[in-house]
Structure 1
């Protein structure tokens, strides 16, 4: 349930920025979430809605989420690109295959671990 804790941190950061700018209201928040955060966007939206209803500055604001593909680099053959994520119904989770799809070697994650607030649309006073 790391979606709850991540969304709580996002809400706190948005509130801090809104207050710093003297905003009357937050209208919209745009996030970019990398696939290797393993954050479920539906759960992030759910928790954002729950948490934003508790804060007058955020109440009624919209959340837009852009999911970003991750990429890896093989330490053996130099392959750079996507890897396959397996959805195992027995475990109800997505399990990353952290091996190079070309040679089976060890890979390093290059991108896809970010969770970034791209933009906050505010209504001024």
Structure 2
């Protein structure tokens, strides 16, 4: 389950961020998770609960926002949603596609008290 290692990285960022502030409790963590990470929201929730035990994050709500995969064609400059694993431009058929969204794992916000 690679969600545990992903959440380990998330908690490193959370801990680094919280060390700069006086925080009693984290109430909510909002993540943006790209479709290409192949991270399952339920598995992320389980990993979050495991990492948050005995920390200021224990009991916090985890919100996972899925981010769709967007491609950009270097030939015709068309930007489009990629719904399958066929990375061809739907406009001109060019196979040289740049993924511009959908690989991210970002902490969008932390709600604290």
> What TM-score comes out, normalization by structure 2 length?
0.85
Report the structure, 1 or 2, having the larger strand content. 1
Query: RMSD over aligned Cα, in angstroms?
Result: 1.7
2:50 corresponds in structure 1 to 50
Q: Is the 8 A contact 1:31 1:119 kept in 2?
A: yes
Q: Is the 8 A contact 1:36 1:112 kept in 2?
A: yes
Listed as ranges, the matches of 1:60-79 within 5 Å are 60-79=59-78
Alignment partner of 2:86 out of 93, 97, 119: 97
Distance 2:18 2:100 in 1: 32
Distance 1:25 1:17 in 2: 13
Distance 1:64 1:37 in 2: 16
Runs of 4+ in 1 over 4 A off after TM superposition: none
2:106 corresponds in structure 1 to 116
Deviation at 1:7, TM superposition (A): 0.6
Q: Deviations along 1:36-83, whole A, 9 cap, x unmatched?
A: 222222211111111112x32111111111111121012334332011
Listed as ranges, the matches of 1:30-45 within 5 Å are 30-45=30-45
> What TM-score comes out, normalization by structure 1 length?
0.78
**Pairs aligned (count):** 112
Q: Which runs of 5+ in 2 are unaligned?
A: none
